[in-house]
Every structure is written in C-alpha cells, then in structure tokens.
Structure 1
Amino acid sequence: MGLLTFAGRIVLVVINIVFIIVSLTLIVAGFVIRFAHEWLKPSLDTVLNKIESTVKTAYGDASFSTDKFEFGSLVSTLCYIMIAAGVVLLAISFLGCCGACCSFTTIMLVYSIILIVILLAQVAVIILVFAKPVVIKDQMKSTLKDTMKDYDGIKGTSVSALGWNWVQQEFDCCGASNYMDFEQKGSPYKNTAVNDNAAMGGTDGNVGAPVACCKTLPSSDGERTTCAGNGAAPSETNSNLNKGCVDKVWTRVVEDNTLYFAIVVGVCFAIQIVLIIFACLVFKNRGIAGGLV
C-alpha cells in the first residue's frame, strides 16, 4: 500500500504540473484574444475587407474603415471566463501539487473534495449543453439583443455595429434569432440617407432587413433592393434574414465538433477520477506516510 501511495503522489505531481501549464496557457490566451487586436486582425480581414469595400464602393464613403473592429470586445465574456478558469485551475493544481509533493494529507482531502465538486458541476454543464441547449441559447439571445439598440447598419463604425456586421457575414446569419430582433430593439439601421438606406449611385434605399444580412453584399441599389428588400422583408433566396446567429454559431462551434468535445470531456473525466482516487489514497494513508492530519 505504501508503494501504491508513493506512485499516486508521483502521478498527482506530474498531472498537476501539466495542469499548471494548461492554466497558464488559458490565462495568456484569454488576455491575447481580449487585448491583442492587431495580432488577430489579419485572420479576420477577409470579411472585414469585404464590408469595407462595399461601403466605400457602393455607398461612396471613402473615409469608411473597419479599423475599430475588436474581436476581443466581441468575445470579451468568453475571454474573461478563460482567464477566470485559468486562475482557478492554477490555484487548484498548485494546491494538489504541493499537497502530493509534501504529503500534506489534509490538503489532499480538501483537494479531492474540490475535484469531486468540479466533476459534478461538469456533468451538469455537459447535460445542459447537449440535452438542453435551448436554455443556453435563450440566455445568449437575450444578452445579444441588448446590443442591438444602437446598431446602425453596414456603415456603422461602433464596436457593436462592426461586431454584428462581421458575425452576420462570417456565419451567414441575421440577428440573434432573426432580422426582427433589430426591429424590436428599434435599431436605427434604416435611417434614410444615413445608414443602410444611404444613397447608392444617387438612389436612396428602403430596406426591409439589414444589408449585412445579404448573402452577397450589394454593389448597387438594385442589388440592395434584391437582397435587403424595398419597404418589406426580402426573399430568403438572397438574404439570411431568418437564420439566427446564435443557432449558426452554436452549430459551427458545438454541434460540428461534438466528437472532439466527447474525446476531450472523456479524457478530462478519466484524469479527474484518477486524481480523486490517488488524493483519497494519500489522505487514507496519512498514518503511514505522515504529514498534516
């Protein structure tokens, strides 16, 4: 039993060192995504350049620029979750590493309890994500709709407008649920001669849905009428007006990667169970191995 406990301590130290590295990676990645905008911009330029080209060419606005677009601001909540998760993982891993290395058995008991609680929480989250995704989606939609009240269309230069335009073109979608989200929030994107309805070739528009929801961004007033409508909602043939962005993003990020998620979750669960078993074993043998009681 003493040999098994010794082997368990080695396993605990090694795995927790790996988790310390992972936690530091999470923290750094969170900060990079949130604040290193210039590093990330080249990978987003395809869509941004398309938007900028449309506004400059079709609307004749030579001064328009997408330079204010910040991907980190768009996913700031995710970044802060990554940073917080990294800090928590770092603290837990450091606790487990110290406890196992020095045979602090009381720390091992606390460590194992924390791991059990986290494991149960992860099971609950996994069930929620794959069995009741509508709960998460509804919360996402509610949060995103609050950002639409100032959405001023394809010519918008605010972080919110640029974010929505990028998402809608990148994921071929419109609004959180559909284009009516913008109507319900009173978004000013239809303001005549200012935003989406600004003159193209001397002709003002009368869009029924955001231009950014067009499957192909228009280069003339005729194309704008075809894909964004003329006083009424356009046909779905040329517009993504009824394809919600939450569902499209969820499909690409979660549903299309279900196998990878299953593998990662399975490996994590197995590692956590091993850590819990060995942590309990170290605590159980406190009378043999010594340490705090």
Structure 2
Amino acid sequence: MSLPSEPLPIARKKGQPLRFAHVAIIGKYQAPGSRDAVEEVAHFLHDVGCEVSLEQDTALNTGLLQYPALDVPAMGSACDLALVVGGDGTMLGIGRQLARYGVPLAGINQGRLGFITDIPFDSYREKLRPMLYGEFEEDPRALMAASVWRDGRCVFEATALNDVVVNRGGVASMIELRVEVDGHFVANQRADGLIIASSTGSTAYSLSAGGPLLHPAIGGWVMVPIAPHTLSNRPIVLPAHCEIAVEIVSGRDASANFDMQSLTSLLHGDRIVVRRSEHTLRLLHPVGWSYFDTLRKKLHWNEGG
C-alpha cells in the first residue's frame, strides 16, 4: 500500500478547531496488510493536525514505534477519540475496555461484515475528516455486565457488548437451564444453549439462531434458545433494566462465553447473571449514517429484485 506523495488538502472552516485533537489507533494487527493500513491512517491524522498514538499491542505488532504506545488506561485519560482500523471483533475487544472512560470510538472497516466498524477503508479520508472537526452522529450502545456465581460467591466477571452465551459441551446432548428474569421463574429449558444478546449483538450469533433484529435505540435484550427441545420455546425481547439469571441444571461440560471471553466447565448449580452495565459505548458514525442502510448492505437485502 503506497502513501500519497503529497498530503490531501484539508477542508475546514476558517478558525475551526479540531474536535478530536489526540487520536489513538487500534489495529487488527494479526491481518495481512494491517501495518500499511495503520501507518497510512496515522499519516493522514498527522497531516490533519492530530496528535497520534497507537494502542500498545498495535504498536508492538506492527513495529510502528515512532508513535507513543499507550495501554487502555492511558488512552482513556489522554485521548479524545479511539479509531479502530479493523473489523467488528477488534471494535468489540477495545470497546468493552474503553467504555468506562467515556472515550468515543469510530471504526474503519478492514474486516468482513462491519456492522459497527462502518467507515469503508477506500473512502475513510472524506468520511473521517469532517468527523474530526465535530461533524458526526453519536450512537450510544448498551453494555452487559455478567457474572458467574458458585456456592454463593462470584467466581467470574466480564463485560460484553454483543452477547452472553451458555453452551453445551462437545458431547452430543442437550443441557437443561433454569431461567429467571428479575427473580421470577420463566422456564426450565432443554436446548443446545441460550443466547442473551444486546441490540448490537442481535446481528451476530443471535441472528443465526433465529432471533430478531433489535434497533440500537431500543437498548433492550433478546433471549434466544439454541436448538430448543420444545419448539414453542421462542426468542423473547426483554427490557434493558431487567436482570437475567441462568442456572445450570443438568448437562455435561457447559460453558459460558462473553463476547470473546470464555469460562469453560461450568458446574451444576452455577448461575450466570446478566444485567445492564453502568457504562455505555459511545460509537461515532459519519453524518448521514443510517442503521437501515447498514442492514440493507450487510445482509444483502433487495438483491436480485
């Protein structure tokens, strides 16, 4: 990937200050070509007038050591914007960590789907430049606070942006789960597992398991059984303020997954508790962004019509 011989002209109103003066870049450093992509974006930000830092793993794995390398707490205290150059998985990983600091995030898509990293790499310059001067749309996304309880004590805690999934093990048999909402018994469910997804996660595993799409403005949860034994066991949409508890009743080698974080070998009697996190992800989009445009493009609606 070659850099332009001369910087592109910067379109700005006279005297208009940068809204985001210090930008941290988080890259999908495992992917081929990521170093060149991160370096190009860093050059662009520098030409605009931004102070540029790299997330520490991005800096180490790309070898771009001419920029300051910051860990998450340092990014949270020093940076005005976190810019993900990668895919939705990269955004999920850093978004969970930065949400507590209130740092907004934007995503340049180098992945496959790009539901939340929605700025195309081939047009990031014209999309990102006005955002740096304050022309953007903010899209708050709810986070899930999850915990695993065993014998009355918490043994694991995690934050999730997409979903919390309780799965059966590798043995070809179902698990039985007792489900409660706000302390009220819902049902004992026999299935391959259960997905509790946010509106952001409604386009992920939940969708492939037959769950509904939730507009981000709803902010609630969807609870979706995976291959339930009882076919009348259907997905249900729940308000965001409720607390969901899932207890392992029977089944072998059950596990819980919180986005990309896993806890294996759950025991009978373990309870997975999910509630809304006190933190919210501040996701930024270019002006004119539409959730429905994203769905239509990513899900290939209206093709062949």
Whether TM exceeds 0.5 here: the answer is no
**Structure with greater Cα Rg:** 1
- TM-score scaled to structure 1, two decimals? 0.21
- TM-score scaled to structure 2, two decimals? 0.20
Structure 1 or 2: more helix by fraction = 1
